[in-house]
Amino acid sequence: MRAGLIGALLIAIAAIIGAYLGNNIIAAAPTEDAARVADGERAQDAAPADSARDYLTPAELDTATRGGLLPAGTKSLLKTDSKMRHGEYKWHDDGVPPGKLTIWVDLRTQLISVFRGGHEIGTSVIVYGAETMQSPVGRFPILSKHRDYHSRAYDAPMPYSLFITNTGVALHGSPMSSRRATHGCVGLPVEFARLVFDVAKTGDEVRIVRSETKTIAAKSQSAGS
Protein backbone atom coordinates (compact mmCIF):
# COMPACT_ATOMS: atom_id res chain seq x y z
CA MET A 1 0.00 0.00 0.00
CA ARG A 2 2.41 2.70 1.15
CA ALA A 3 6.11 2.36 0.42
CA GLY A 4 6.79 5.89 1.73
CA LEU A 5 5.75 9.27 0.40
CA ILE A 6 9.40 10.32 0.36
CA GLY A 7 10.04 7.67 -2.30
CA ALA A 8 7.15 8.95 -4.41
CA LEU A 9 8.42 12.51 -4.05
CA LEU A 10 11.91 11.53 -5.15
CA ILE A 11 10.47 9.82 -8.23
CA ALA A 12 8.49 12.94 -9.07
CA ILE A 13 11.49 15.21 -8.54
CA ALA A 14 13.67 12.93 -10.68
CA ALA A 15 11.09 13.15 -13.45
CA ILE A 16 11.12 16.94 -13.25
CA ILE A 17 14.93 17.00 -13.41
CA GLY A 18 14.82 14.65 -16.38
CA ALA A 19 12.46 17.01 -18.18
CA TYR A 20 14.82 19.91 -17.60
CA LEU A 21 17.79 17.94 -18.92
CA GLY A 22 15.79 16.97 -21.97
CA ASN A 23 15.35 20.69 -22.68
CA ASN A 24 19.10 21.28 -22.25
CA ILE A 25 18.59 23.19 -19.02
CA ILE A 26 21.42 21.92 -16.85
CA ALA A 27 21.98 23.30 -13.35
CA ALA A 28 25.45 23.61 -11.88
CA ALA A 29 26.46 20.93 -9.37
CA PRO A 30 25.79 22.04 -5.78
CA THR A 31 28.74 23.28 -3.83
CA GLU A 32 29.65 21.98 -0.39
CA ASP A 33 28.23 25.17 1.14
CA ALA A 34 25.00 24.75 -0.82
CA ALA A 35 24.70 21.18 0.41
CA ARG A 36 25.05 22.37 3.98
CA VAL A 37 22.34 24.99 3.38
CA ALA A 38 20.03 22.30 1.97
CA ASP A 39 20.66 20.11 4.99
CA GLY A 40 19.85 23.04 7.23
CA GLU A 41 16.61 23.72 5.37
CA ARG A 42 15.63 20.06 5.72
CA ALA A 43 16.10 20.12 9.47
CA GLN A 44 14.64 23.58 10.05
CA ASP A 45 11.90 23.63 12.69
CA ALA A 46 12.07 19.85 12.95
CA ALA A 47 11.12 17.89 16.02
CA PRO A 48 14.02 16.23 17.90
CA ALA A 49 15.85 13.93 15.51
CA ASP A 50 14.84 10.28 15.53
CA SER A 51 15.01 7.33 13.19
CA ALA A 52 11.24 7.19 12.74
CA ARG A 53 10.79 10.11 10.33
CA ASP A 54 12.07 11.81 7.19
CA TYR A 55 12.35 15.60 6.97
CA LEU A 56 11.28 17.35 3.78
CA THR A 57 13.37 19.77 1.75
CA PRO A 58 11.59 22.81 0.28
CA ALA A 59 11.78 21.19 -3.17
CA GLU A 60 10.15 17.98 -1.94
CA LEU A 61 7.39 19.91 -0.18
CA ASP A 62 6.74 22.04 -3.26
CA THR A 63 6.38 18.94 -5.44
CA ALA A 64 4.08 17.27 -2.91
CA THR A 65 1.78 20.24 -2.37
CA ARG A 66 1.45 20.96 -6.10
CA GLY A 67 0.37 17.38 -6.67
CA GLY A 68 -2.04 17.30 -3.73
CA LEU A 69 0.02 14.73 -1.83
CA LEU A 70 0.58 16.79 1.31
CA PRO A 71 -0.74 19.91 3.02
CA ALA A 72 1.28 23.10 2.91
CA GLY A 73 3.62 23.45 5.85
CA THR A 74 4.45 19.75 6.14
CA LYS A 75 7.84 19.29 7.82
CA SER A 76 8.33 15.57 8.29
CA LEU A 77 6.82 12.19 7.42
CA LEU A 78 6.94 8.90 9.23
CA LYS A 79 9.28 6.38 7.64
CA THR A 80 7.62 3.35 6.10
CA ASP A 81 10.05 0.68 4.99
CA SER A 82 7.49 -1.52 3.26
CA LYS A 83 4.00 -1.33 1.82
CA MET A 84 1.20 -1.10 4.34
CA ARG A 85 -1.81 -3.33 3.88
CA HIS A 86 -5.38 -2.80 4.98
CA GLY A 87 -5.48 -2.92 8.76
CA GLU A 88 -1.87 -1.75 9.21
CA TYR A 89 -0.86 1.67 10.50
CA LYS A 90 2.01 3.64 11.97
CA TRP A 91 1.83 6.01 14.92
CA HIS A 92 4.77 7.87 16.41
CA ASP A 93 4.39 11.22 18.14
CA ASP A 94 7.33 11.05 20.54
CA GLY A 95 9.21 14.33 20.55
CA VAL A 96 6.68 16.14 18.36
CA PRO A 97 5.77 19.43 20.05
CA PRO A 98 2.20 20.71 20.45
CA GLY A 99 0.75 22.30 17.35
CA LYS A 100 -2.19 22.52 14.97
CA LEU A 101 -3.72 19.14 14.16
CA THR A 102 -4.55 18.46 10.51
CA ILE A 103 -5.98 15.23 9.15
CA TRP A 104 -5.20 14.60 5.46
CA VAL A 105 -7.11 11.92 3.53
CA ASP A 106 -6.13 11.00 -0.03
CA LEU A 107 -8.80 8.93 -1.75
CA ARG A 108 -6.55 8.11 -4.70
CA THR A 109 -3.70 6.65 -2.65
CA GLN A 110 -6.08 5.26 0.01
CA LEU A 111 -4.01 6.83 2.79
CA ILE A 112 -4.67 9.02 5.78
CA SER A 113 -2.04 11.15 7.48
CA VAL A 114 -2.39 12.91 10.83
CA PHE A 115 -0.15 15.95 11.23
CA ARG A 116 0.67 17.91 14.37
CA GLY A 117 2.48 21.17 13.79
CA GLY A 118 3.46 19.97 10.33
CA HIS A 119 4.91 16.65 11.51
CA GLU A 120 3.16 13.43 10.54
CA ILE A 121 2.36 11.48 13.71
CA GLY A 122 0.15 8.77 12.22
CA THR A 123 -0.66 7.15 8.90
CA SER A 124 -2.83 4.27 7.75
CA VAL A 125 -4.57 2.70 4.77
CA ILE A 126 -8.27 3.55 4.57
CA VAL A 127 -11.51 2.30 3.07
CA TYR A 128 -13.85 4.89 1.58
CA GLY A 129 -17.12 5.41 -0.26
CA ALA A 130 -18.21 3.24 -3.16
CA GLU A 131 -18.91 4.86 -6.53
CA THR A 132 -22.60 5.04 -5.76
CA MET A 133 -21.96 6.74 -2.39
CA GLN A 134 -18.68 8.58 -2.80
CA SER A 135 -16.78 10.18 0.02
CA PRO A 136 -16.86 13.98 -0.23
CA VAL A 137 -13.81 16.01 -1.22
CA GLY A 138 -12.95 19.30 0.47
CA ARG A 139 -12.11 20.92 3.80
CA PHE A 140 -14.21 19.90 6.79
CA PRO A 141 -14.07 20.81 10.46
CA ILE A 142 -14.73 18.04 12.96
CA LEU A 143 -18.30 18.75 14.05
CA SER A 144 -18.67 16.15 16.80
CA LYS A 145 -17.00 13.13 18.40
CA HIS A 146 -18.70 9.89 19.45
CA ARG A 147 -16.64 7.10 20.99
CA ASP A 148 -19.28 4.34 20.72
CA TYR A 149 -21.52 5.45 17.86
CA HIS A 150 -23.84 2.94 16.18
CA SER A 151 -25.37 3.68 12.80
CA ARG A 152 -29.15 3.35 12.84
CA ALA A 153 -29.37 3.70 9.06
CA TYR A 154 -27.08 0.70 8.42
CA ASP A 155 -27.28 -1.05 11.81
CA ALA A 156 -23.49 -1.02 12.06
CA PRO A 157 -21.00 -0.04 14.76
CA MET A 158 -18.92 3.08 14.03
CA PRO A 159 -16.44 3.25 16.91
CA TYR A 160 -14.42 6.43 17.49
CA SER A 161 -16.49 8.49 15.06
CA LEU A 162 -15.38 11.98 14.05
CA PHE A 163 -18.29 13.51 12.13
CA ILE A 164 -17.38 16.05 9.46
CA THR A 165 -20.75 16.69 7.76
CA ASN A 166 -24.34 17.12 8.87
CA THR A 167 -25.33 14.30 6.51
CA GLY A 168 -23.55 11.60 8.51
CA VAL A 169 -20.09 11.38 6.95
CA ALA A 170 -17.47 10.49 9.55
CA LEU A 171 -14.02 9.09 10.05
CA HIS A 172 -14.41 5.97 12.18
CA GLY A 173 -13.14 2.51 13.02
CA SER A 174 -14.13 -0.07 10.44
CA PRO A 175 -13.43 -3.63 9.26
CA MET A 176 -10.56 -3.38 6.79
CA SER A 177 -10.22 -5.11 3.44
CA SER A 178 -9.28 -4.14 -0.12
CA ARG A 179 -12.71 -5.45 -1.14
CA ARG A 180 -14.63 -3.25 1.28
CA ALA A 181 -16.23 0.15 0.71
CA THR A 182 -18.25 2.49 2.91
CA HIS A 183 -21.40 4.53 2.39
CA GLY A 184 -19.30 7.70 2.10
CA CYS A 185 -17.41 7.58 5.41
CA VAL A 186 -13.66 7.13 5.79
CA GLY A 187 -13.01 3.79 7.48
CA LEU A 188 -9.89 3.32 9.62
CA PRO A 189 -8.33 0.39 11.49
CA VAL A 190 -10.09 0.43 14.85
CA GLU A 191 -6.99 0.94 16.99
CA PHE A 192 -5.76 3.70 14.66
CA ALA A 193 -9.20 5.31 14.84
CA ARG A 194 -8.89 5.33 18.64
CA LEU A 195 -5.52 7.09 18.46
CA VAL A 196 -6.90 9.72 16.09
CA PHE A 197 -10.00 10.13 18.25
CA ASP A 198 -7.89 10.74 21.34
CA VAL A 199 -5.80 13.54 19.80
CA ALA A 200 -8.47 15.23 17.65
CA LYS A 201 -10.94 17.80 18.94
CA THR A 202 -13.99 19.48 17.46
CA GLY A 203 -12.97 22.21 15.06
CA ASP A 204 -9.82 20.46 13.87
CA GLU A 205 -9.57 20.34 10.08
CA VAL A 206 -10.02 17.25 7.94
CA ARG A 207 -8.96 17.64 4.32
CA ILE A 208 -10.13 15.02 1.83
CA VAL A 209 -8.43 15.13 -1.58
CA ARG A 210 -7.68 13.12 -4.71
CA SER A 211 -4.00 13.57 -5.55
CA GLU A 212 -2.78 13.85 -9.13
CA THR A 213 -1.51 10.66 -10.72
CA LYS A 214 0.92 12.53 -12.97
CA THR A 215 2.74 13.82 -9.88
CA ILE A 216 3.06 10.39 -8.33
CA ALA A 217 3.93 8.13 -11.20
CA ALA A 218 4.57 5.10 -8.97
CA LYS A 219 1.45 5.43 -6.90
CA SER A 220 0.72 1.72 -7.33
CA GLN A 221 3.22 1.38 -4.49
CA SER A 222 0.95 3.22 -2.10
CA ALA A 223 -2.46 1.74 -2.74
CA GLY A 224 -3.27 -1.40 -4.64
CA SER A 225 -4.34 -4.98 -4.45
Rounded Cα gap, residues 13 and 36, in angstroms: 20
The per-residue pLDDT for range 159-215, each reduced to its tens digit, is: 999 999 999 999 999 999 887 778 889 999 999 999 999 999 999 999 999 998 654
Report the predicted TM-score, pTM, of the whole model to 2 decimal places: 0.75
Does the pLDDT at position 56 exceed 80? yes
Poorest-confidence range of 41-45, 71-75, 120-124?
41-45
CATH classification code of 5-221: 2.40.440.10
The number of CA neighbours under 13 Å toward the Cβ of 15 is 13
Show me where the domains of the chain are located: 5-221
Rounded Cα gap, residues 67 and 139, in angstroms: 17
First to last CA, the chain: 8
Rounded Cα gap, residues 111 and 106, in angstroms: 5
Residue 8 pLDDT: 52
The per-residue pLDDT for range 79-138, each reduced to its tens digit, is: 988 888 999 999 999 999 999 999 999 999 999 999 999 999 999 999 998 878 899 999
Rounded Cα gap, residues 103 and 120, in angstroms: 9
